[in-house]
Structures are given as C-alpha cells and as structure tokens.
Structure 1
Amino acid sequence: MQEIADDFADLAAPQRLELLLEFSEGLPELPARYAGSLDTMEQVHECQSPIFLVVEVADEPADQPDDRAVHLFFSAPPEAPTTRGFAGILSEGLDGLTVAEVLAVPEDAPYRFSLGEAVSPLRLRGMVGMLSRIKRQVALKTRS
C-alpha cells in the first residue's frame, strides 16, 4: 500500500486522477461464484455509488491463522470510476497479504494517497468505509 501511496504522492493532482482511473480500469472482475450474487456480499453504504465487497481468508496454514492469505472481491459499476479506483487500489494493495498484514493497515490509510485535492472528502470516506469493512470481515473470518 505504501508503494501505491508513494506513486500518487509523486504526481500532480490531475495526474493523480489519471492514476485513479487506471486503478478503476484494472479492478479485477468478480469470479463466477459471486457474479449475480450481490446478496452474499457486503454493501459499502459510505460510498456514493453502489459497491459491494467480500473477503475470503485461505484455510492454510491453519496452524498459523495470522499467516493465512486474504483475498478481496469487489463489485462496482463501470460508471463509477472513482469508487472503482478506490476498490482497485485496495485490491492491488491488500489482496494476497496475510491476515496480520491486512489488520495492521492503519485506518487512515486512504488519506495517504494524496487524493484530497483531487476528490471530495465524502468520496474519501467511501474508501475508508471499504477498508474498515475489509478489516472487520477479516477479523470475523479468523475468529471462526
């Protein structure tokens, strides 16, 4: 996540929006098991656009629960590039990390992408909402 934040910080505000659009376009498609099943995903109500997410935590290595890999899946409409961009950042920055690494991400991480000049605070709160739901789902899935 820090590398992505550094990439944004190195750019002027207009170029940050272009990079955000690149993340939007790079958001992976939902796997077939979630396509058409938004009811199995959690909606992020802080976002202005309808976005849904689900977290999967790998079963292995079961002897070290905090070392299990986390995988993220998002459903975001193509006509919402900012929201999709935020989801793309979180997907690229967090997918594949361990439970411990995801839970260690600071709550204010979305504010570290130097996007305050490029998008509204309301939109940034949407990304904060995504991150908090990801971390909550990871915590819940590692307790069970």
Structure 2
Amino acid sequence: MSAVPAALQEIADDFTELSGDNRLQLLLEFSDDLPELPERYADHPELLEPVPECQSPIFLITEVEGTGRDAEARLFFSAPPEAPTTRGFAGILAEGLNGLSVGEILDVPNDVTERMGLAEVVSALRLRGMAGMLARIKRQLREKAEIGPEEA
C-alpha cells in the first residue's frame, strides 16, 4: 500500500493550503534551503546521476545504510542557483524523504508530486521533472538496498 511519509505529507499540505502566488514563493524557499552537496560528491560530480526529465540540469545520488526495506536512505542533489524551480523540487524531496527507510520511500505514490497543487504555478513539463527525480531515487534505493522485485 502506498503511503506518503508524514514529513512529505506536511509539505504537500502546506502547498495545497496556499494560493498560487504563495505556492510559488514556498517553492522558491525550498530552492534556497536545498542543502549543499557533501565534499565527497562536490569534488566528484561524475558520481551523481542526471535527471533528463528536468528542464534544468539536476543531478542526484542516494546512499543507503544497510540492506532491505529497513535500510536508512540519504538523498543528495546538485542543481544550479539559476534553476530555482528544479532546486525547489529537489528541496521538497530532500526535506520530505531524507533519513527515512528505503521501504518508506519506495512506498511513496508515484503521483505524490501532482498532489501539491503546483500545476497552477509551474508547467506539467516541470512537474514531470520532479516525478523523474522520485523515480530515479526509488531505482537507486532498490539497487543499493538490494531489494528484488518481489520486495519492492
């Protein structure tokens, strides 16, 4: 059963409670709050995976501590400051998912990005970029936590 983790649901609720202009402002705040890459990745950008669904260049990598659905997941993103929408999407995913178990993240519905009411302020193409980030995160986590199709 798909479930939205509490932190991500709180973010979604914050967006849906706001008007269009305020939603865009909140998205920009998430852009500003996107954590910097740790040095181990900042010095080796080739380790990060690109997300071609995004209109702006964004790269991501996950880390997993342990194996299976109970393993802890860490998410890292790199997006240029001149791409605030893309950075905002990454900031939402970082804040809403970082530190959760792999299983919790794998259970996030794929359409969660559509539930935030952002279609009023950003294009469908941009929303597909956020969905592309989530899909790549899930794939990386399945691989790194050694989760087979029957467990996913």
**TM-score interval, smaller chain:** over 0.9
1:83 aligns with 2:90: no
- State the TM-score, normalized to the length of structure 2: 0.90
What are the ranges of 5 or more consecutive residues in structure 1 without an aligned counterpart? none
State the shift of 1:52 in Å: 0.3
- Residue 36 of structure 1, CA deviation: 3.2
Partners of 2:38 and 2:117 in 1: how far apart?
31
Residue 43 of structure 2 corresponds to residue 36 of structure 1 = yes
Measure the CA separation in 1 of the matches of 2:121 and 2:43.
Answer: 33
Equivalent pairs counted in the alignment come to 140
Instruction: Report the counterpart of residue 70 of structure 1 in structure 2.
Output: 73
RMSD (CA atoms):
1.0
Q: Map Cα deviations across residues 59-93 of structure 1 (whole Å, 9 max, x no partner).
A: 3xx5xx32111000000000000000000000000
Q: What is the match of residue 109 of structure 1? A: 112
Say whether residues 1:5 and 2:8 are aligned partners.
no
Given candidates 87, 95, 99, the residue that maps to 2:98 is 95
Q: Residue 135 of structure 1: which of 134, 138, 145 is its match? A: 138
Q: Distance in 1 between matches of 2:132 and 2:35?
A: 20
SS in 1 for 2:145: helix
TM-score (norm 1): 0.94
Runs of 4+ deviating beyond 4 Å: none
